Amino acid sequence: MKVGLARVSSVGQNLDSQIIALKEYGCEKIFTEKKSGTTTKGRTALREWIDFMRESDEGVVTRIDRCSRSVLDLQLIVKELESKG
């Protein structure tokens, strides 16, 4: 299953273009959040996205910075997802 994550940095921003792109790509489940990506702390939707994925699922974002703005955080997310298969 393709599982999408859409994120914007603030409440005033719009997620619509990301959600449309994720649906067009074939995502069956999409997690959304309006939080800064500078840290993974307090990012509930990110945690739910990671926890939801099972072996052989495909994590999808429209741009890599929608997942993480930190290379270290991104490495940790990828490592955790790889451990889930």
Give catalytic residue positions: 9
Q: Which two tokens stand for residue 10?
A: 């603030």
Q: Which two tokens stand for residue 30?
A: 């999409």
Chain centre to alpha carbon of residue 72: 16
- Rounded to whole angstroms, how far apart are CA atoms 16 and 21? 9
